Amino acid sequence: MKPTDAIRHAGNVDAAGHVRGESIYLDDLPEQAGTLHGAVFASPIAHGSLRDLHRDAARAAPGVIAVLTATEIPGENQIGGIVPDEPLLAAGEVHYAGQPIAVVFATTEAAARAAVKLMTADIEPRSAVFDPREAARLGHLIVPPRSFRIGDLDAAWSQCAHVFEGSAETGGQEHLYIETQGAYAIPTEAGGLRIHSSTQGPTAVQRTAARVLGIPMHRIEVDVTRLGGGFGGKEDQATPWAVLAALGAWRLRRPCKLVLHRADDMRMTGKRHPYASDFKIGLAADLRILAYEVTFYQDAGAAADLSPAVLERTLFHHTNSYFVPNARATAYSCRTNVVPHTAFRGFGGPQGMFVIEAAIARAAEALGIESAVIQERNLLRDGDVFPYGQIAARCNARRTWEDLVSRFEIAALRQEIERFNASHATEKKGLALMPICFGISFTKTFMNQASALVHVYQDGSVGVSTAAVEMGQGVNSKVAQVAAHGLGVGLARVRIESTNTARVANTSPSAASASADLNGKATERACDALRARLLAHAAVMLGKAATAAGGSPAGAPAAGLAVRDERVYDGDTPTKIAWVDLVRAAFLNRVQLTAQAHYATPEIHFDWTTEKGHPFAYHAYGTAAIVARLDVVRGTYVIESALASHDFGRSMNPIVDRGQAEGGIVQGIGWMTMEELMFDAEGRLRTNALSTYKVPDIYAAPERLEVHFLDLEGPPHAILGSKAVGEPPLLYGIGAYFAVRRAIRAANPKADIAFSAPITPEKTLRALHGARFAARRAAPRPTRAHAP
Ligand code: MTE
Ligand code: MOS
């Protein structure tokens, strides 16, 4: 059964509230009388021994109720999810600038912040490490290194006609969710707490708060209405702020709210992991990739956070959408003295894919051919095996490539660019094609589960609770569509409730692009059960069965009956029973109008002792073309076009999916081009404001941004055949680096360009005019007095 067009074109159910400014975020919750506000005192230095903390002045400051430190924690001072290596509040040692040491609670936010400014700490500095390669040399690893292997790499090198080596690095990325991190914790009766948190992972907040407070999870209820963006930054790192608010509420028995200001959020929360990598690629004379070796050094920051899981996805995606028969990928998660880095859209996948694209570019440049020739030659086909053992099935890598090339007339575009470059001296264009392949499922198999609780109220309206957190990606719209479709009612009948741990427990975070699939499938199951019960009763009403409750086992479909457009149908014939009448009659006949269902993705498994298995429910594929236009004099550039042919399966909500694709592409381009994190020699983030950290705005978005929907039959594990779309399109942005690189080489074929992203205008200018820069800098220059 396919969703009706009305449901497919639902758009985003939140749109009206958003544009009117009526949607509720954490900071919009009405505050209870007596609410206290928190502010965090954090380490000013990157590494040291905490000798003393001076909090008396803060304690005595106006409005201050308490200054809490590690010693005030009743349970365990531990928030590490994968590795227990991260205290909530530093004790004994600090490991990065921005690490929370104390939290002040005061009657107003301003008072709390003012009090934090009165605090100082005596910290004896210790040597700090900021370079992941150096951390690896020193043996400072978060977890033991991991290696994925396929084929016989050592033997393969001798069969290669061409072998190239190099290094590549990608920078971090600030999530810049519009709503900063925050939480509001309210004491409830009998020693309970309700925590409103801007989190992608309500259960992580609940579990960690219980651990830190030393109380059972059932005393804590976490509630999330929606987030003003998460992008992975609130998968794990919403937790500390929520637990600090909970700590305040627990100790002070008053509602406590903690919301980070932007600069504090940028300073105190982790980002996309920067990576440094080494690669070696071997090609046959016919340009098939025969061998690929890669070593990744992940800058994990000072604690594990999600780094081991992110590292794993780097390994899963190190061959992107290419078949590589012989490969060895080794990955080190390196402990450094910066803020612990965390999930960010793509979850380590983009970092892995950038390196193989760099290896292909290096080979193509040396061989004097287009990267596209090597890329196309090596695209995955059905039956090819991934380095982790899964066999490519329903593989649309080539389909999207071919569709892109013909639909957007790439050959003509290439000629046009050549003509442009031949006739322009101070402007050059570059084109890059970027095929992508992204595995859908959490790579930790146990996380691939979700539940739904669906109530049909006696007036026929429907309330749905799931584990899914709405963060702008449109999952509420999709779950509502599933329920409307499943029950045969209009979307207006369905309301998606907040995400609440007391209604839906033991949830995985909304992440890995899997929320719509997992929660949608659970909702589908709950609706199946409800529909079966209701139709069994309809059969009685129509005289087709004697009894419903007694006669028809729950779940058995009543022969020939269906609900469509809010009416019971007998085959193709509408009956006299409307949805509301059916619900009312069923209620009066004591039919249960609530269903709960659980879904766990079938078939997937992975054995980390052999690093082989079938970890993904399916893969998302696509290909993009990115064109950059470079100002050769200034080193500035624009991304002229981003054109993609993407495999959405059969999109259940094209408006939402287009938004995801366009937003992802622009976010990916930002990571590759302009977003640059800068730390000073002491490891303090200097780019901690929007004036110094540049994210793409509408002017930086591609002048032409077109995403074509390849309307293909979706895989069975995708909800309603509609493939997951949250993260994959970000990967197209990688093409922006290579497009700019090609434009630079069009201007200066000898340009020495590092495989180092972001390729900022500064780097571009140096690559274009490197020799002249060096000469200028060597020449003595008159010193000028500083302006006052
Ligand atoms: N889109 C918006 N508007 N806001 C977000 O925070 N997060 C991204 C992606 N798209 C995000 C977004 C990330 S990192 C993921 S994993 C998915 O959405 C999560 O939602 P999904 O599982 O429903 O795709
Ligand atoms: Mo997304 S990085 O999996 O939250």
Q: Which residues of 680-700 are buried (b: 16+ CB within 10 A; e: fewer)?
A: eeebbbebbeeeebbbbeeee
CA of 667 to the centre of ligand 1 (A): 12
Which of 234, 310, 347, 730 to mutate for ligand 2's pocket (most ligand atoms within 8 Å of CB)?
347
Predicted confidence band of residue 775 (pLDDT cuts 50, 70, 90)? low
Side by side, which strands form the sheet with 637-647? 427-440, 618-631, 637-647, 704-710
Indicate which atom in ligand 1 lies nearest the CA of residue 468.
Answer: 23
Give the ligand whose atoms come closest to the C-alpha of residue 726.
1
Query: Which of 512, 471, 499 shows the shortest CA–CA distance to 230?
Result: 471
Q: Residue 561 and residue 573: Cα distance in Å, rounded?
A: 10
Give the position of tokens 């389909």: 399
Closest ligand 2 atom, CA of 345? Answer: 2
Burial 707-735 (b: 16+ CB within 10 A, else e): bbbbebebbebbbbbbbbbbbbbbbbbbb
Poorest-pLDDT segment among 267-271, 373-377, 545-549, 707-711: 545-549
Q: Give the pLDDT of residue 776.
A: 56
Which pairing describes strands 618-631 and 427-440: parallel, antiparallel, or unpaired? antiparallel
Q: How high is the pLDDT of residue 777?
A: 54
| Angle value at C-alpha 478, between 474 and 484, nearest 5 degrees | 140
Find the 741 Cα to ligand 2 centroid distance in Å.
28
Chain-centre distance for alpha carbon 739: 24
- Cα 498 to ligand 1 centroid, rounded to whole Å: 17
Per-residue pLDDT at 352: 98
CA gap 720, 359 in Å, rounded: 38
- Give the Å distance between the CA of 125 and the centre of ligand 1: 39
CA 49 vs CA 88, 91, 93, 122, 124: distances in Å: 16, 9, 4, 8, 5
Report the candidate in 57, 85, 53 with the shortest Cα–Cα distance to residue 72: 53
Cβ–ligand 1 contact at 198 (below 6 Å):
no
Nearest ligand to the CA of 471 is: 1
Yes or no: say if 646 and 661 are a contact pair by the CB < 8 Å rule.
yes
For residue 347, the ligand 2 atom closest to its alpha carbon is 2
Cα 471 to averaged position of ligand 1 atoms, centre (Å)? 7
Specify the ligand 2 atom closest to the Cα of 231: 4
* pLDDT at 778 (0 to 100): 53
**Ligand 1 center–CA 202 separation, angstroms:** 15
Q: Percent of the chain beyond pLDDT 90?
A: 94
In short, whether 374's Cβ falls inside 6 Å of ligand 1 is: no
Task: Please tell me the predicted confidence (pLDDT) of residue 555.
Answer: 46
pLDDT exceeds 70 at position 772: no
Residue 780 scores a pLDDT above 70: no
- The 3-state DSSP class for residue 402 equals helix
Orientation angle between helical segments 734-747 and 761-778, nearest 10 degrees: 40
Cα-atom radius of gyration of the chain, to the nearest Å? 28
Q: Which of 628, 657, 640, 632 is nearest to 758 (CA)?
A: 628
Q: Is the pLDDT of residue 785 over 80?
A: no
pLDDT over 50 (residue 231): yes
Q: What is the mean pLDDT of residues 623-652?
A: 98
Expressed in angstroms, the distance from the first to the final Cα of the chain is: 73
**Using a 6 Å cutoff on CB, does residue 737 contact ligand 2?**
no
Pairing of strands 192-197, 220-224: parallel
Give the mean pLDDT of the chain: 95
Indicate whether residue 455 lines ligand 1 (CB < 6 A): no
727 touches ligand 1 (CB under 6 Å): yes
Q: Give the contacts of 567 (CB within 8 A, at least 6 positions apart).
A: 488, 574, 575, 577, 578, 579
Mutate which of 235, 341, 660 for ligand 2 pocket (most atoms within 8 A of beta carbon): 235
579 C-alpha to ligand 2 centroid (Å):
39
Per-residue pLDDT, averaged over 25-34, amounts to 97
Please choose, from the candidates 533, 514, 508, 517, the residue with its C-alpha nearest in 3D space to the C-alpha of residue 454: 533
> Cis peptide before 435, with omega less than 30 degrees from 0?
no
Ligand nearest to the CA of 660: 1
Looking at ligand 1, which residue's alpha carbon is closest to its atom 1? 473
pLDDT at 787 over 60: no
From 293, 611, 675, 727, the catalytic residue: 727
Higher-pLDDT residue of 657 and 550 is 657
Taking alpha carbons only, the member of 259, 105, 243, 257 closest to residue 182 is 259
Say if CB 471 and CB 484 are below 8 A apart.
no
775 or 580: whose pLDDT is higher?
580
Ligand 1 in reach of 499 Cβ (< 6 A):
no
376 is catalytic: no
**What's the residue count for the chain?**
788
Query: What per-residue confidence (pLDDT) applies to 10?
Result: 82
For residue range 536-575, list pLDDT tens digits in order.
999 999 999 877 554 444 445 567 999 999 999 999 999 9
How far is ligand 1, taken at its centre, from the CA of residue 117, in Å? 36
User: Does the beta carbon of 671 lie inside 6 Å of ligand 2?
Assistant: no
State if residue 177 touches ligand 2 by the CB under 6 angstroms criterion.
no
For residue 475 and ligand 1, the question of a CB distance below 6 A is answered with yes
Does residue 533 sit in helix, strand or coil? helix
Q: Is 344 in the pocket of ligand 2 (CB under 6 A)?
A: yes
Whole-number Å distance between alpha carbons of 720 and 480 = 13
The model's pLDDT over 137-167, given as tens digits with 9 standing for 90+, comes to 999 999 999 999 999 999 999 999 999 999 9
Beta bridge partners of 614: 605
